[in-house]
Structure 1
Amino acid sequence: MKKRYIIFLFSVMGLVSFTGIGDKDTLNAKKGKKTAVFSKVVYKGDDQIYKDNPLQANEFYNPLLQGCYPDPAITRKGGDYYMVCSSFAMFPGVPIFHSKDLVNWTDLGGVLNNVAEFNPNDTRISGGVYAPGITYNPHNETFYMIVTAFSGNLGNIIVKTKDPKKGWGSPIKLDFNGIDPCIFFDDNGKGYIVHNDAPDKGKELYEGHRVIKVWEYDVENDKVILGTDKIIVDGGIDLSKKPIWIEAPHLYKKGGSYYLMCAEGGTGGNHSEVIFKSDSPKGPFIPAPSNPILTQRYFSKDRANKVDWAGHADIFKGPNDKYYGVFLGVRPNEKSRVNTGRETFILPVDWSGVYPVFENGLIPLEPKLKIPNGVIENKTGKEGFFPNGNFTFEENFTNQKLDYRWIGLRGPRENFTTITKKGLEITPFEVNIKEIKPTSTLFYRQQHNAFSFETNVDFIPTSEKDLAGIVCLQSEKFNYVFGITKKGKDTYILLERTEKGQSKIITSTKIDIKKSIRLQVKATGDNYQFSYSLNNVYFENLGGTVSGDILSTNVAGGFTGALIGLYATAANDAKP
């Protein structure tokens, strides 16, 4: 998390450049570059935990959102719930979901979808935007989404709308530093912003020492009121124990008292959620005697069906005014690697006493929950609702509008994709997957530890600079490229592993392309296999079984989960 703040400082100090996104690449792509056409994509999840725990009629699976959907925040207007997550350098920024019942969720795309206003074109994959807050203000019937943007010298920004289903206004830059902002509106309509920041200059006591600040917010003019900032938490619940990374604050009001909930311990194995109470939104805030109110850090590291890193939460009233909380967690594989990234979980919250506590949030988390009272049916994966558990996602690219699960990296997917009668045509940029630039790759999040991903690709390279295929990507420095390219007069298929920015060809073989090739990547925990078929029937493995270690968050670093991409480039540097 400290790395995040360093990047943010570079951004606000103007040390991160800001240029038009992919303009040159888009123009080059339209000058007759060799295109690749992808069709018949099938992603299939096959995690054992879902086979061992089939759902009953009154149950739903946890996590709600599998794959890289971290840092959830949620708000409610009447019977409508809206939830946002971090997206980093993925585009569009800040995915948003809608539900009527907390079980069945609809993907609404991304809040920040105008590249002229949010432009992560020169941002490392774990930059971009993260830790959003979303709040409905009943006093002016307006939704607010507030977030830290590490691109374009934006810093902390806020956007507004009357209806999240109809889009959002332009970003409004806010005049404060720090990260993880959230906005709160009191009963009288007065606004406040809380956020994570560095201690005052010269007062940092140890590595990871952070503070929580509050500002008064001018609702009419959408700006913080200068001079009203105040540190309301220094370090965490007990400064003498040197707590690290107090962050992701949310402010609530209940029974005339104000509650400040924060993450503490860093977004790893020591992650937790803590709560404070005050008579004023500006403090002083006193920590609850029973902290933490959510964590998974106390249990055996080799426990079955492990969920870990729980924290970064938001509490809200759900159906029948029963409290719930959403938070991030991870589901490591058998080698404790985190390839699916940080995901969005939900638990009921008991707030019958003075302080809230996540129900069963202090024991090992289970894969299933009872649906809230009054919810008629679990429709996940049906009728357009977002799936979870083991599911199959099929895409033939017959609709002109791509499913929102397909995303770009550092720029819009529309800059390089075209829907044709044959499938999805990708016109390659002169950029490869290892560069910190917009890449001509259409990505899908890895959502299971055991999965298969297949696609047909129609592509005949004309030079060694041409490559198309599948990429499995944790970051620009950690990835696998499985693709078709040229060497001399011959066509090859190759598998390349990039670790810490150093690339190595695992193996390659000459092929004779007569029609489209079917490519497949399969994973069982840490074991990945890449295979191809020239006749759409029999698959040939390329490179044997390889380790998925480089696709793990806790190996590659950063904050994202693994992505699977339909990749084409006119700047290939992987040589058979």
Structure 2
Amino acid sequence: MKKIFDKLKSGTWVTMSGILMTVLSGIPAFSQKAAGKGNQPVFTQFTYQGNDRIYRNNPLNEGEFYSPILQGCYPDPSITRKGNDYYLINSSFSMVPGVPIFHSKDLVNWKQIGHVLDRPSQLKVEKAGISAGIYAPDIKYNPHNNTFYMITTQIAGGIGNMVVKTQDPAKGWSDPIKLKFDGIDPALFFDDNGKAYVVHNDAPPRGKELYNGHRVIKLWEYDLEKDAVIEGTDRIIVDGGVDISQKPIWIEGPHLYKKNGKYYLMCAEGGTGGWHSEVIFVSDDPKGPFKPAPGNPILTQRYFPRDRTNKVDWAGHADLVEGPDGKYYGVFLAVRPNEKNRVNTGRETFILPVDWSGEFPVFDNGLVPLRPRTKMPAGVTNQAGQNGFLPNGNFTYTDDLSISPLNYRWIGVRGARENFISTSKEGVKITPLPVTIKATEPTSTLFCRQQHASFEATVKIRYDPQTEKDLAGIVCYQKETFNYVFGITRKGNDLYVVLERTGNGKSTILGSEKIAPGNGIRLRVAAEGDDYTFSFAAEGQPFKNIGGTVSGDILSTDVAGGFTGALIGLYATSANDIVIP
């Protein structure tokens, strides 16, 4: 799938529909419950503790909050407002359920209220690579019909561009409505007169690609009654980017806005890496022509020294909203590399005030090195980690895994968690599927996101593997070909704890140790930037390391590729392929 997307990015593939129909159509939905009756591990007492230096060195002052507001793999943010309610969503790729959705009254304190795509009929990612699936969703509220819309590209299951809708984001969304246009990153715009439009990224017309990375932004009129683009209304409103003579690359992530009678088109430009930026255009008509702002880009981190301290990078892919104080704010993605410039936590959701006192919006301090602390809107109290609001900065949480349904932080990859888990007062029980973590299909793994460069994650497991094919424990996962497995299995009549590293599909056992049967063992993974350690402890005993200190390189985007951050998983399999030496 990654190769397919790379071909799309390079311009080799001209249409998204060609990819979807040729490669991904006809994939059956995965509805099978966890297979087999093998031994079922019980996980409980999961504790996660983040301890990043940047937060220790930058305590909050009165009237401040931390950005990113969503730490870990929450990329491609989009935001909308209805009255005093704000809703924020993110890309989810092959994570299940898809498109996490958050609610706030003040842009500072956020609660997750669920996922937009939480049913098999909405999400078809069972055979998709980790970086396929759901790309760049856009959420918009239409006051003319009191309806919320989420439009996105699902690169899986033969779906392509699609839209779902609801009148209450907390009460579920419709099944997908497929849309008949190619390209990616669609967004909706509802004009004051009730008319609707879709803007999106696409390839230039066939035979007119001028260079690698040449893309265009298209606009269609949208029929709200039929939920369809109106045939024949498509037009290119931006060709290449701000200045096509400079060969700008990957113009994408478009959003349309209206202010003071003018139409503003804001896009990402430069690709979602080190040259990423946000640019803005203006027109008197939503159909263009659009003129770029003379001060573009309005947000980027690309001009600063590579070795700067407290580095934030890759800033772009933004969306704007008017805040509770009448001032505009912009959410956007960026990354915080570790000391070896590796991106393990993925692309996170940041927020900044936006100065729109002139003709064009400009992100406050968006053209200087980003800082961790941001001034709150007037009259807001920071309640992060309290009263049900999400924590940020350095935080600790403990989950006994006994409450049903589980916290929204727990997800599956390619398959729903409900297919292989059950909860009781003992904790969460995983019924192992007969596939390993290396499979490009649903596995019996319950994931949460790595949210800090320096962290500890500990879980207690009760498990008695019956054969050498049984294994359960913790995984650190970037994708099926880049991961660590730290678990309990069997060799003959003996139990062992074992650590395996898989990099680029090649697996190596880094250490193992025989253990005595017991009532439970604690497993721990800890990281200090790029240095990871895996340890275990029998009941009442201190932790003992297995495998020494290992590199987090294989958990980073720059090594493993793709668009996701590292995940921490509670894992079980009845098809273990790790052979104890």
Structure 1 length as normaliser, TM-score?
0.98
Work out the CA distance in 2 between the residues paired with 1:229 and 1:45.
Answer: 48
Is 1:110–2:118 an aligned residue pair?
A: no
How far apart are residue 474 of structure 1 and its match? 0.4
Partner of 1:48: 53
Of the structure 1 ranges 456-465 and 39-48, higher mean CA displacement relative to structure 2 is found in 456-465
Partner of 1:470: 474
How far apart are residue 130 of structure 1 and its match? 1.4
Of the structure 1 ranges 558-567 and 145-154, higher mean CA displacement relative to structure 2 is found in 145-154
How far apart are residue 503 of structure 1 and its match? 0.9
Work out the CA distance in 1 between the residues paired with 2:262 and 2:6.
Answer: 32
Of residues 437, 448, 451 in structure 1, which corresponds to 2:455? 451
Partner of 2:70: 65
Of residues 235, 238, 244 in structure 1, which corresponds to 2:240? 235
Work out the CA distance in 2 between the residues paired with 1:261 and 1:80.
Answer: 23
In structure 2, the CA distance between the partners of 1:556 and 1:275, relative to structure 1 (3 Å rule), is same
* Aligned residue runs from structure 1 range 403-552, under 5 A: 403-552=407-556
Q: Secondary structure at the match of 1:12?
A: helix
How far apart are residue 309 of structure 1 and its match? 0.2
Work out the CA distance in 2 between the residues paired with 1:184 and 1:144.
Answer: 10
Is 1:366–2:374 an aligned residue pair?
A: no
Work out the CA distance in 2 between the residues paired with 1:18 and 1:305.
Answer: 46
Q: Secondary structure at the match of 2:218?
A: strand
Is 1:266–2:274 an aligned residue pair?
A: no
Partner of 1:179: 184
Of residues 31, 42, 54 in structure 2, which corresponds to 1:37? 42
In structure 2, the CA distance between the partners of 1:44 and 1:3, relative to structure 1 (3 Å rule), is farther
In structure 2, the CA distance between the partners of 1:447 and 1:4, relative to structure 1 (3 Å rule), is farther
* Aligned residue runs from structure 1 range 212-291, under 5 A: 212-291=217-296
Partner of 1:555: 559
Is 1:348–2:348 an aligned residue pair?
A: no
Letter aligned with residue 344 of structure 2: N
Partner of 1:28: 35
Of the structure 1 ranges 535-544 and 237-246, higher mean CA displacement relative to structure 2 is found in 535-544
Partner of 1:140: 145
Work out the CA distance in 2 between the residues paired with 1:63 and 1:117.
Answer: 29
Is 1:12–2:57 an aligned residue pair?
A: no
Q: Secondary structure at the match of 1:496?
A: strand
Q: Secondary structure at the match of 1:520?
A: strand
Q: CA RMSD in A?
A: 1.3
Work out the CA distance in 2 between the residues paired with 1:37 and 1:235.
Answer: 53
What's the CA shift string for 1:469-521, capped at 9, x where partnerless? Answer: 00000011100000111122221111111111111111112211222110000
Alpha carbons 2:520, 2:538 under 8 Å: kept: yes
Of residues 101, 107, 110 in structure 1, which corresponds to 2:106? 101
Letter aligned with residue 332 of structure 2: F
Work out the CA distance in 2 between the residues paired with 1:82 and 1:476.
Answer: 32
Work out the CA distance in 2 between the residues paired with 1:56 and 1:572.
Answer: 50
Work out the CA distance in 1 between the residues paired with 2:326 and 2:153.
Answer: 31
Alpha carbons 2:34, 2:444 under 8 Å: kept: no
* Aligned residue runs from structure 1 range 69-84, under 5 A: 69-84=74-89
Work out the CA distance in 2 between the residues paired with 1:296 and 1:186.
Answer: 32
Q: Secondary structure at the match of 2:54?
A: helix
Alpha carbons 1:518, 1:536 under 8 Å: kept: no
Alpha carbons 1:478, 1:500 under 8 Å: kept: yes
Work out the CA distance in 2 between the residues paired with 1:131 and 1:180.
Answer: 5
How far apart are residue 326 of structure 1 and its match? 0.3
What's the CA shift string for 1:434-482, capped at 9, x where partnerless? Answer: 1010111000100000000000011111111111000000011100000
How far apart are residue 165 of structure 1 and its match? 1.1
How far apart are residue 11 of structure 1 and its match? 4.3
How far apart are residue 18 of structure 1 and its match? 4.1
Letter aligned with residue 439 of structure 1: T
Work out the CA distance in 1 between the residues paired with 2:323 and 2:28.
Answer: 42
Work out the CA distance in 2 between the residues paired with 1:552 and 1:257.
Answer: 42
Work out the CA distance in 1 between the residues paired with 2:296 and 2:6.
Answer: 23
Alpha carbons 1:326, 1:345 under 8 Å: kept: yes
Work out the CA distance in 1 between the residues paired with 2:266 and 2:430.
Answer: 45
Q: How many residues get paired?
A: 572
Partner of 2:402: 398
Alpha carbons 2:318, 2:332 under 8 Å: kept: yes
Work out the CA distance in 2 between the residues paired with 1:79 and 1:525.
Answer: 39
Partner of 2:328: 323
Alpha carbons 1:11, 1:155 under 8 Å: kept: no
Work out the CA distance in 1 between the residues paired with 2:310 and 2:78.
Answer: 25
How far apart are residue 17 of structure 1 and its match? 4.8
Letter aligned with residue 393 of structure 1: Y
Alpha carbons 2:342, 2:557 under 8 Å: kept: yes
How far apart are residue 117 of structure 1 and its match? 2.6
In structure 2, the CA distance between the partners of 1:27 and 1:300, relative to structure 1 (3 Å rule), is closer
How far apart are residue 569 of structure 1 and its match? 0.6
* Identical aligned residues as a percent: 63
In structure 2, the CA distance between the partners of 1:539 and 1:21, relative to structure 1 (3 Å rule), is farther
Work out the CA distance in 2 between the residues paired with 1:536 and 1:234.
Answer: 65
Is 1:151–2:156 an aligned residue pair?
A: yes
How far apart are residue 422 of structure 1 and its match? 1.4
Work out the CA distance in 2 between the residues paired with 1:459 and 1:144.
Answer: 45
What's the CA shift string for 1:524-549, capped at 9, x where partnerless? Answer: 00000000001243011000000000
Of residues 337, 350, 356 in structure 1, which corresponds to 2:342? 337
Work out the CA distance in 2 between the residues paired with 1:303 and 1:42.
Answer: 32
Alpha carbons 2:185, 2:253 under 8 Å: kept: yes
Q: Secondary structure at the match of 2:303?
A: coil
Work out the CA distance in 2 between the residues paired with 1:459 and 1:21.
Answer: 31
Q: Secondary structure at the match of 1:320?
A: coil
Work out the CA distance in 2 between the residues paired with 1:488 and 1:372.
Answer: 63
In structure 2, the CA distance between the partners of 1:27 and 1:90, relative to structure 1 (3 Å rule), is closer
Partner of 2:300: 295
Work out the CA distance in 1 between the residues paired with 2:393 and 2:8.
Answer: 31
What's the CA shift string for 1:308-362, capped at 9, x where partnerless? Answer: 0000000110112210000000000000000000000000000110111000000
Work out the CA distance in 2 between the residues paired with 1:572 and 1:109.
Answer: 33
Is 1:197–2:202 an aligned residue pair?
A: yes
Of the structure 1 ranges 11-20 and 121-130, higher mean CA displacement relative to structure 2 is found in 11-20
Letter aligned with residue 164 of structure 2: V
In structure 2, the CA distance between the partners of 1:310 and 1:3, relative to structure 1 (3 Å rule), is farther
Work out the CA distance in 1 between the residues paired with 2:425 and 2:395.
Answer: 27
Work out the CA distance in 1 between the residues paired with 2:7 and 2:325.
Answer: 41
Q: Secondary structure at the match of 1:103?
A: coil
Q: Secondary structure at the match of 1:13?
A: helix
Work out the CA distance in 1 between the residues paired with 2:505 and 2:247.
Answer: 35
Point out where structure 1 has 5 or more consecutive residues left out of the alignment.
none
How far apart are residue 116 of structure 1 and its match? 2.5
